[in-house]
Amino acid sequence: MEFDNLSTISQIATGLATLAVAVFLASQLRLQHKDSIISMRAGVTNTLTALAEHHISDPTFTNIFLRGIRDEPLDEEERHRYNMFLNMYFIQCQQMWFYDRESEDTWWWFWTMLQTGPGVIRWYEEVGSLLLPDELNRYINERMTRAMS
């Protein structure tokens, strides 16, 4: 009888130890996920900053960008440069959204550019909405609708 009790106690102890290990591993995975989001967000921020710094230091692009956001006419080469800038910007934001869809910081990056001028909204409607995944377009459109109400 004592052997049966000892066996039962051992099985309970083993079960509790297994549960403790599972809880510990789950908490480690959660921390690792948070760390990867922080790291990814820092990388995207650095890329967007470098992209902006490059174009700020290029007076030709500054003129193109200002005319583009005001939705003024651009020649073919200028339109291409403007489109490429916005493509790169929104694809970087898309990467942030893939990893952290719930963060207000993620939405802020989209919202900031979309509020820059009517040319950005037109670009998003005509070009960006074709490049970005449907789920992300729904997210942007829903958030824009809420923000405008």
Average pLDDT across each block of 10 residues of the chain; the chain has 149 residues. List them in order. 71 70 69 65 70 77 92 95 90 84 83 92 94 94 88
The predicted structure's pLDDT at residue 103: 79
**72 within 8 A of 119, measured Cβ to Cβ:** yes
**132 within 8 A of 145, measured Cβ to Cβ:** no
The predicted structure's pLDDT at residue 40: 63
For residues 1 and 59, give the distance between their C-alpha atoms in angstroms, rounded to a whole number. 89
The predicted structure's pLDDT at residue 68: 95
The predicted structure's pLDDT at residue 69: 94
Dihedral angle computed from the Cα positions of residues 58, 116, 73 and 78, in that order, rounded to the nearest 10 degrees: 30
What does the angle CA 96 – CA 99 – CA 105 come to, to the nearest 5 degrees? 50
The predicted structure's pLDDT at residue 138: 94
The predicted structure's pLDDT at residue 137: 94
Full-model pTM? 0.67
- Closest to 98 (Cα-Cα) out of 51, 147, 139: 139
State residue 131 phi and psi, 5-degree precision: -85, -35
The predicted structure's pLDDT at residue 149: 80
CB atoms within 10 A of CB 94: 19
